Amino acid sequence: EIVLTQSPGTLSLSPGETATLSCRATQTVGNNYLAWHQQKPGQAPRLVIYTTSHRASGIPDRFSGSGSGTDFTLTISRLEPEDFAVYYCQQHAYAPLTFGGGTRVEMK
């Protein structure tokens, strides 16, 4: 099973700043099948990025993903108020599929 570790646990930032979220895997994620999901309080998650760097439908271009192998990054440029949420990485390469523990992006 691939274990995903996200860091930091919490990011405190102001609107307009850049958020950099990390996701590290215990083994290589095949085909870089690494996704990011956003979850706001009381809501279901929403897909943001899949296969490391592909934005999901309707996701603004201030969201970008990068990385390969075992190290992946989600970058949110020019934070908007609606971007403050919890972000989870997920590997979608091998069963059992696994999620990271999440990074909370909170408003400073």
Choose between 1 and 80: whose C-beta lies nearer to other proteins. Answer: 1
Shortest distance (Å) from residue 56 CB to other proteins: 7
- Which DSSP symbol is given to 66? E
What residue ranges bind other proteins (CB under 8 A)? 1, 33, 35, 37, 39, 44-47, 50-51, 56, 88, 90, 92-93, 95-102
18 three-class SS = coil
Shortest distance (Å) from residue 16 CB to other proteins: 28
Residue for token digits 């950099």?
20
Separation of alpha carbons 41 and 62, rounded Å: 22
Q: Residue 90 is encoded by which pair of tokens?
A: 């997920």
Shortest distance (Å) from residue 26 CB to other proteins: 15
